[in-house]
């Protein structure tokens, strides 16, 4: 008779702590890092919105003319 092995040969360990693994946390951290990186790159390249507005002294000079 052939012996049945009762030891599991599953390479993945049994899930513990409510069935949650670390993968969702890693995905969330990677997604957050990607978003922060994109905002840092795009934010530093874009010109400020107020760059074309005249200064207060320019407004006063224009009113005087």
Residue 22 has a pLDDT of 60
pLDDT by residue (tens digit) across 6-44?
666 666 665 555 555 667 788 999 999 999 998 888 776
Nearest to 62 by CA among 42, 49, 53: 53
| Straight-line distance from the first to the last Cα atom of the chain, in angstroms, rounded to the nearest whole number | 109
pLDDT by residue (tens digit) across 43-60?
766 666 666 788 899 999
Q: 4: pLDDT confidence band, cut at 50, 70 and 90? A: low
Residue 30 has a pLDDT of 93
């Amino acid at each position: 008779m052939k012996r049945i092995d009762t030891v599991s040969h599953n390479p993945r360990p049994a899930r513990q702590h409510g069935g949650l693994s670390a993968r969702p946390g890693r995905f969330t951290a990677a997604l957050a890092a990607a978003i922060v990186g994109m905002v840092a790159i795009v934010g530093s390249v874009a010109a400020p919105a107020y760059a074309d507005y005249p200064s207060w002294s320019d407004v006063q000079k224009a009113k005087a003319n």
